[in-house]
Amino acid sequence: MKWYDKAIIYQIYPKSFQDTNDDGIGDLQGIIKRLDYIKNLGVNTIWLNPIFVSPQVDNGYDVSNYFAIDPSIGTTDDFEQLIKEVHKRKLHIILDLPINHTSDQHPWFKDAISNPNSIFKDYYIWDKGIDGHEPNNWGSFFGGSVWSKASENSDNYYFHLFDKKMPDLNWKNVEVQRSMADIAKFWIDKGVDGFRLDAFIHMAKANLSQMSLKEGKYPIDDTFYAKLPEVKQYLSGFVSEVKEQNPDTFLFGEASSADSHQAAEYTRPDEDECDVIVSSNNYGEIYDDDSPVKGFFQPRKFSLDRFKETFVDWESVLADISYPALTWGNHDVSRFVDRLNLPTTDPKLQKSLAMMMFLQRGIPIIYYGEEIGQHGLKYQSVDDFDDQRAVDLIANLCQQKFSDEDILNLLNEQDEMTARGPFQWDDSKYCGFSNVQPWNFAKQSPVDAANEVSDDDSMLSFYQKLLKLKSTPNFSQGNYRLLLTDKNILAYERTLGDEYAIVIINYSKDSVEYKLPTTKDLDVALANQDIDITDQTLKLEPWGCCALVKGDK
């Protein structure tokens, strides 16, 4: 068993965690300052969003130098101190590594653009225009075409799945493959314990002469640039080199659109693949099909039925292969307490959802602030949104005569930037994050860590108890079985040898009774209410939850 088989991950968005030099931007020294808080939460692994040198077109995912720390968040000395302090507390650290693309300010791309004989030309993907138009009609995830001209008078186009300032790498080129492995090895030598492989499912592209059959000027159609067969080949070569450097390196791949079978293909233990796959298909969401807003911003809500179906599938398919990633979200979506249109603001429901997700078989990933019940920022005007997808949506909905208020409410529920606000350390003007206005700031939710630390009934206290329970052998390594229940109840068993546990959630506004499926003597390991069990019948209040374990009697 590897150390990461029992990983409990805490995701930190460095720009928004803690500012120590009063420039409004979080920094590495801020993370060092808060390591004891992280340790006391009960996690054992820290994931940092990109910290490399970047023009910050996409908040660090556009890298211009993979071998240095962006000056806005610190120095190499700061990072080396962070590594030392993390390991001193017996924690692990993993870095976010964008491997599908670079910044257009990366020396490779700058040379490829400026030098006709550049050896870096083939590090990127190029094609000729057709009759003055792009090589094909594929759409970018950030809007518009995947193609941009190398220069105004050129008929040469380069490929970019995301922003035009983020050209895609050509993974067919063995020098690209070698270079990206060398980057990972450099940071392993610095003491890094693993990597999140950003957008790795997009490393391979289909025949560039193909046109999409979907409607629209630049339709998004990942048939042509996601999960193609060559991805496994490129991934395998990269992983084998990294694992040769350090076999204990943890690699979890971001595959936002992957289903359980694709996740299994990318995590097979008998092949050089990822150790865990993170997908956006695991939130138990259902979409409002009647909404005129489609795609990324389409309104959604939580469905217990969908959640059950999802994890029966993932737990079954991955049972003998790898662990599912257990998460309610990350920096690429709004916070789940806003996004999922939950039926109540009762904190008991948030506690129930945390237990529901994280005590399953799998690797928990907690997004910073989630453990205190932090909501997303609430912007006051549509003009406050400047990410490209939001700008495009605003223009589109204005044409459809949506009111500014309706557009603002939709964006505050769904836009990813709302999830990137400063961590709420206390109730001061800037939340204890900084003494100056943070880089991303708007109306905050009325919660903070300082108030919750000393409150035994707080969200933070519940998360600490929950993660302590998660770290026990049965909940970290045991088998998983979902039980048949009424529609408003979720129940699953965890077993490991003679150890037995059952988790029960009441997802409704009414009290319910649940007949326990065992005559074993059970003790309450954790609950968000007082527990009453009579004649094997458990009574749960509205939004109640409990984890019961076999007693010693």
| pLDDT score, position 389 | 84
Long-range contacts of 309-315 (CB under 8 A, 24+ apart): 310/281, 310/282, 310/284, 311/282, 311/360, 311/482, 312/482, 313/259, 313/260, 314/260, 314/263, 314/282, 315/360, 315/361, 315/362, 315/480, 315/482
Neighbours of 142 (CB within 10 A): 20
Confidence at residue 461, expressed as pLDDT on a 0 to 100 scale: 98
Over residues 388-426, the pLDDT tens digits come to: 788 888 988 998 989 999 999 999 999 999 999 999 999
Q: Flag whether pLDDT at 496 surpasses 60.
A: yes
Residue 462 in contact with residue 39, Cβ under 8 Å? Answer: no
> Which helix H or strand E contains 480, and what residues bound it?
strand 479-482
User: How high is the pLDDT of residue 505?
Assistant: 98
- Name 20's Cβ contacts closer than 8 Å, sequence gap at least 6: 27, 29, 30, 33
pTM of the predicted protein model: 0.96
* pLDDT at res. 242: 97
For the segment 63-96, what is each residue's pLDDT rounded down to a tens digit?
A: 999 999 999 999 999 999 999 999 999 999 999 9
Task: List, in sequence order, every beta strand (DSSP E) within 16-172.
Answer: 45-48, 52-53, 65-69, 92-98, 126-128, 147-149, 156-159
For range 491-514, the mean pLDDT: 96
Mean pLDDT, all residues of the chain: 95
| Helix intervals (H) in 328-433 | 336-339, 347-358, 388-399, 404-414
Query: In this structure, what are the phi and psi dihedrals at residue 465, rounded to the nearest 5 degrees?
Result: -65, -40
pLDDT for the residue 215: 86
pLDDT at 157: 95
What local confidence, expressed as pLDDT, does residue 289 receive?
87
Read off the pLDDT of residues 200-248 as tens digits, 9 standing for 90 and up. 999 999 999 999 989 888 999 999 999 999 999 999 999 999 999 999 9
Residue 286 CA to residue 301 CA, distance in Å, equals 6
pLDDT of residue 155: 84
| DSSP designation for 210 | -
d(CA 468, CA 41): 9
Of 161-175, 286-300, 469-483, which range is least confident? 286-300
pLDDT for the residue 518: 86
Reduced to 3 states (helix: H, G, I; strand: E, B; else coil), residue 144 is coil
For residue 378, what pLDDT band results from cuts at 50, 70 and 90?
very high
Q: Are 462 and 451 in contact (CB under 8 A)?
A: no
Q: How confident is the model at residue 553 (pLDDT cuts 50, 70, 90)?
A: very low
pLDDT at 229: 95
Known catalytic residues are: 198, 254
Please state, in angstroms and as integers, the Cα–Cα distance from residue 155 to each residue in 104, 113, 208, 211, following that order: 18, 13, 15, 19
Q: Please say if the pLDDT value at position 316 is more than 80.
A: yes
Q: What is the pLDDT of residue 552?
A: 61
- The answer to whether 253 and 277 are in contact (CB under 8 A) is yes
Angle of CA points 116, 118, 122, to nearest 5° = 105
Provide the CA 201 distance to its chain's centre, in angstroms: 15
Instruction: Give the strands of the sheet with 325-327, arranged side by side.
Output: 276-278, 250-254, 194-198, 92-98, 45-48, 9-12, 363-367, 325-327
In the structure encoding, which two tokens stand for residue 270, read together? 């008998």
Per DSSP, the three-state class of 157 is strand
Question: How does residue 131 score in pLDDT terms, banded at 50, 70 and 90?
Answer: confident
Average confidence (pLDDT) over 347-365 = 98
Q: Comparing 387 with 31, which gets the higher pLDDT?
A: 31
Beta bridge partners of 538: 514, 533
> pLDDT at residue 281 above 90?
no
Phi, psi of 93 (to 5 degrees): -135, 135
β-strand pairing of 250-254 with 276-278: parallel
Quick one: what percent of the chain has pLDDT higher than 90? Answer: 89
End-to-end CA distance of the chain: 31
Q: What is the SS3 assignment for 394?
A: helix
